[in-house]
Structure 1
């Protein structure tokens, strides 16, 4: 592990980015170029102290999962990610495992769709990247621990948070989408039998969620995510009903999720208001 060179690579990558590049609010009075260490830590799901120690060349040996998270947080391309792994004394991810790296071309697409809430999901259902409007609509994913940034984990194990939006659905819709979500993870397990993170996710869900375990034992698989049209209860704006389209990226087996509304509708007006509000709350102290 070349700690000195690794520290320089991480620092250069961090200072080359802006908050807007990674879907975070810019804020004011920024005293450093690029991202703050706190922002990198949030995006990667590690502690700030961990990032500080790595950048000072005195950090521990990062795991492959942490290296992937850092490469994703810092928007590294394939070559830069490979360099990061080699400097840390690890082999880059091999074929046969779920691709967690958002390619620059997909990131550019995310950047261009800044007027629509957009997210990128891995084949496991991990939320890999999102734009600022997705944070305004659904809640800031950077505040969620990295291991919990997974739509299936959130569906079966997540706890309600009044600061975040929820998807409104009746019991029939809930049962149908629960089954579809489990079926997609079963299909992922078949495609990536050697991916340890897939096995760990399934094991945790079966152990902690009776509903998931029941559906898993029932069998069935599907390659399509349960997205179509969503009624979303926003903590400030109330219910917003949006079209939800999924675009598959075959080269990485990832899914780009885009929310939109028909122009001229109240839902379209609500999205326009979200673009102005960002992640700030409309509630006032009573």
Structure 2
């Protein structure tokens, strides 16, 4: 149980819920935004003292019933609810220490068949573990990057070194950044003993003010469909659809960039197939 992280999470979420959101009167003497502690306790059917101690990082281990009540009271999403349980120490037995990085052959076959779409596979920390040729042509030739953290999308995005080009060409998308950080936050609670993951988060916190701001905001918002601008050094700006599909039981995501058939963006992807994929094959 990470008492301090749990306390920060609860305070942050309580401040974001208005009385009207949960059917309570607004009142006129509220000194801070959001619900009061006693209101959360009332909605969760627990004692005010128990909830207060949790927010002060002094509480005992909350039961699953208590956590479920708090999740309902704070109107948490499925991802936020899972994060709450993880912070409180409610994890699966025999959980893995590190994320799954072996990609199933069926997944490799899928992205290889998507010849008109750029597709990558990422693990739960957003490390790219497989890609198709068009993704390498559109974003970066991942085979040219050292295996490991250099292929991590979050690291590439927040610690990029080229001031003349957005990281991976992905520009103008706060929603992408929030989604990426949310995946990393869930991974940090899913794999609490991963030294690699702890080092990655520490590096990002030290090296990026934008990452630190999002990380400390405790936002958990995962968008599975976005409209994404890609700025490519050879073919210019491309407006693409960005979809995220989950690989069951692998805790991996397939990210697919597509364009409407016969649109200018589609024609640009066809051009990239010609000029950027001749010697590239799917790798992991």
TM-score using structure 1 length: 0.58
Cα drift, residue 227 of structure 1: 5.0
Distance 1:256 1:139 in 2: 17
Cα drift, residue 261 of structure 1: 0.7
Unaligned runs of 5+ in 2: 1-94, 279-284
Distance 1:165 1:252 in 2: 25
Asked if the contact 2:157–2:168 (Cα under 8 Å) also holds between the matched residues in 1, the reply is no
Pair member with larger Rg: 2
Which residue in the other structure is 1:167 paired with? 170
Which residue in the other structure is 2:195 paired with? 196
Which residue in the other structure is 2:120 paired with? 119
Cα drift, residue 152 of structure 1: 0.6
Which residue in the other structure is 1:152 paired with? 154
Which residue in the other structure is 1:270 paired with? 268
Which residue in the other structure is 2:62 paired with? none
Give the counterpart of 1:232 among 218, 230, 233.
230
Unaligned runs of 5+ in 1: 1-93, 281-286
Secondary structure (helix, strand or coil) at the match of 1:258 reads: strand
Cα drift, residue 134 of structure 1: 0.8
Kindly provide the CA deviation profile for residues 152-209 of structure 1, in whole angstroms up to 9, marking residues without a partner as x. Answer: 101111112769851231xxx43x4433322221111112212222212111111222
CA distance 1:262–1:182, change in 2 (3 Å): same
TM-score using structure 2 length: 0.58
Distance 1:274 1:115 in 2: 10
Q: RMSD across aligned C-alpha pairs, in angstroms?
A: 2.4
Number of residue-to-residue matches in the alignment = 183
Distance 1:184 1:274 in 2: 29
Secondary structure (helix, strand or coil) at the match of 1:228 reads: strand
- Pair 1:186 & 2:185 matched: yes
